[in-house]
Amino acid sequence: MTSPRVFDPGLQPERTLMSWQRTTLALMVGIAAAVHYVAPELGGPAAIFAGVTGIAVAVAAYAAAHRRYAKGTRELLATSTLTVSAWPMLLLSLACFAGGLIAVVFAVVVLL
């Protein structure tokens, strides 16, 4: 039995996938915690809608990171070149930024 060809001895794609998985899981936990604390203050439905939307974005980013890794691995094994879109990661970054802005607004308006 022959071992598969290793295209990256440092396993960088695997590390990148795991880092994006940790980022999206942390985003989901942060959103869930924010909804838990914000829902009673802001009247429930709006906070729950924002939470469900945020978790949906995080799940989509998690799936996009996995698809990106699988596609990149296939391409690297086949051709040793990689062409993938950066849009999913840009959208996740924007979602994180928007969540941070919402947290700052919440801290300023509700907590002060």
Q: Is residue 7 part of a domain?
A: no
Q: Say how many C-beta atoms besides its own lie within 10 A of residue 27's C-beta.
A: 21
Residue 14: the pLDDT is 79
Task: Return the amino acid letter for 107.
Answer: A
Q: Is residue 34 part of a domain?
A: yes
pTM above 0.85, yes or no: no
The domain total for the chain is 1
Q: Is residue 28 part of a domain?
A: yes
Q: Is residue 5 part of a domain?
A: no
Would you say 8 and 76 are in contact if contact means Cβ atoms under 8 Å apart?
yes
Residues 6+ apart with CB under 8 A from 63: none
Residues 6+ apart with CB under 8 A from 91: 57, 61
Q: Is residue 59 part of a domain?
A: yes
Q: Is residue 4 part of a domain?
A: no
| Owning domain of residue 105 | 12-109
Dihedral-angle region of residue 82 (phi above 0 means left; psi in -120 to 50 means alpha; beta otherwise): beta
Q: Is residue 2 part of a domain?
A: no
| pLDDT per residue of the chain (112 residues) written in tens, 0 to 9 | 555 555 555 567 778 888 888 888 888 888 888 778 777 776 677 777 878 888 888 888 888 888 888 877 777 777 666 666 777 778 778 877 877 777 777 777 776 6
